[in-house]
Chains A and B, each alone.
Chain A
Amino acid sequence: MVKGTSVSIAACLTLFAVFFLPLPLAAQESGQLGADREIAQLAEKGESLFAQKCTPCHAIGGGDRPTGPDLAGITERRERQWIRRFILDPQGIIADDPAARQLAEKYPMAMPDLGLSEAEAEALIAFLAMPTEEEHQAGEVTAPPAAAGTQAGDPRRGEALYIGSTPFSQGGAPCLACHGIAGHGLAGGASFGPDLSAAYASYGAEGMVSMLESMPFPSMEPIYLDHPLTAEESRDLTAFLAEVSGETPRVVGPLARDAGLGALFFFAVTLAFGWHRLRGVRRPLVEKMRNRIGGEPR
């Protein structure tokens, strides 16, 4: 009886083991698969973000560029938290992290705040952490879009595009709307964005062309997203900026003094036109009557 009972228990345990023990293992396996799929999806999202936001300055496996370092294997060299912070707050990390500062010194063009969310930063990191370089290259984002930079552009046409006398073919804003430039007098003192007289020196031809073609700055994105520059326009602008490079831009103050003098002139004109008007109609009549009557004003 006892023996029979133990046999039954053993059989039950065996059955239990056969049918139920693999379940957690299977669940674990499918969970692993799910996580892998999730990472792959995230990396895919990161890949398109990388193509859109990072390729103007960074390559993966294509070597360092004047605009920024090669990012192949970055997740092995740096902590994820460090990379995340560099993506989300480049100015902040450059200000207080020695390694970041060292990079900023090596690549003088400051990395712009890309305006990315936490989730987008995670997607970018997932993409950057793809294990092999081959995988990255399969992502087809490594080719620097700056092949066009090697061809020489027309600096005169570039200048006309910069100041707006020749409009961009796709309707983008002329650079002078926001960026100052040497050699155009007071009008060269645009102050919304940074002065671009020294841009060529910082970016180089290749960086300049790729920058102009993608405009990876959040404030410029809405303006150029539907109105991109053509490859030829980017080359012409680069040629113009190369020509200007080394010239010192004219320092233009807020122009408040000039405008103040103008406003003073406007008030002087108001005075001139209103000289008679000030005397009015009623008041002189009242004065005249008072004088005639010789009475005191009431």
Chain B
Amino acid sequence: MVDTLLFAIFPYVAVALAIGVGLYRYFSDRFSFSSHSSQFLESRLLYWGSVPWHFAILVVLAAHLLAFLFPTAWGVLAGRPLRLYLLEITGMVLGMTTVIGIALLLLRRAKDARLTAVSTAMDWTVLLLLLVQVATGVWIAFTLRWGSVWYLHTATPWLWSLVKLDPQVQYLAALPWLVKLHAVNAFLLIALFPFSRLVHVVTIPLEYLGRAPQLVIWNRARARR
């Protein structure tokens, strides 16, 4: 019963919220799609938290997505002991990087009074849930090896069953609570996506990649005191 609720019903609720509210917000309040940058208030610790976090989490998410979309190819990739080990250790390194990154971002918000003043309850919620997500992910990678292979035979068929509107909860029901928490928390983050700063995920500033660098030039003399 609980498994049905968590792995057959909640994922649809989460995705419906993400798409429905996300679209509503986009068309009704487009300029609120932002990560509400606090870089102006604090930038040093932000760099150490945000940059490693974003690069590492993008690769980790891409790995989860590729193993879901192309399980056969992923199975071939992990089908040799050396490649499997390198794949796993890379995932662990990136995972630990995300844990350190998000912990720094939490710490940064907690210790700086100016940041605490501009932080909303949802900011804290999202940061904490992200910490739970990456910490459980790393813990799974360390203790339930090798996730890059069993994911193909548990999470992948479960996710595809959700796509086909025929949820097969038994794939998740037999797994340890740690994996269940990781899966439910992932959908919780998807559900919170349109209500939080996570909406910035869809505003990918691709034009920045090819844009000419901006030069800041002061052309006025500063008044002497």
User: Which A positions have Cβ atoms within 8 angstroms of B?
Assistant: 163-165, 167, 172-174, 176-178, 184-192, 218-219, 221-223, 227, 252, 254-256, 258-260, 262-263, 265-267, 270, 274, 277-278, 280-282, 285, 289, 293, 295
Contacts and interface: CB of A to CB of B under 8 A. Distances in A.
Contact of B81 (A185, A252, A267): A185
A278 to B, nearest CB: 7
7 contacts: A187-B82, A227-B153, A256-B96, A256-B142, A274-B51, A281-B216, A295-B224
B94 A266 contact: yes
Nearest to A280: B43
B222 interface: yes
Contacts of A274: 47, 51
B51 A270 contact: yes
B51 A262 contact: no
Nearest to B151: A177
Interface stretch (B20-28, B167-175, B182-190): B167-175
A164 B78 contact: yes
Contacts, number: 133
- In this complex, the member of B82, B94, B150 whose beta carbon has the largest number of chain A beta carbons within 10 angstroms is B150
Contact of B79 (A163, A256, A285, A295): A163
Interface of B: 43-44, 47-48, 51-52, 55-56, 75, 78-82, 84-85, 88-90, 92-97, 100, 138, 142-146, 149-150, 152-154, 168, 170-171, 173-175, 216, 218, 222, 224-225
Contacts of B84: 163-164, 176, 187
B52 A173 contact: no
Rank and list the top 9 A-B pairs by shortest CB-CB distance, nearest first. Answer: A262-B93, A187-B81, A177-B149, A259-B92, A173-B153, A263-B96, A254-B142, A177-B150, A164-B79
Contacts of A222: 154, 168, 170-171, 173-174
B216 A255 contact: no
Contact of A278 (B44, B142, B149, B154): B44
A178 B47 contact: no
A164 B75 contact: yes
B51 A163 contact: no
A258 B92 contact: yes
A192 B216 contact: no
B222 A289 contact: yes
Contacts of B138: 259
A263 to B, nearest CB: 4
B146 A177 contact: yes
A174 to B, nearest CB: 6
Given A186-B85, A263-B96, A192 B51 contact: no
A174 B153 CA distance: 9
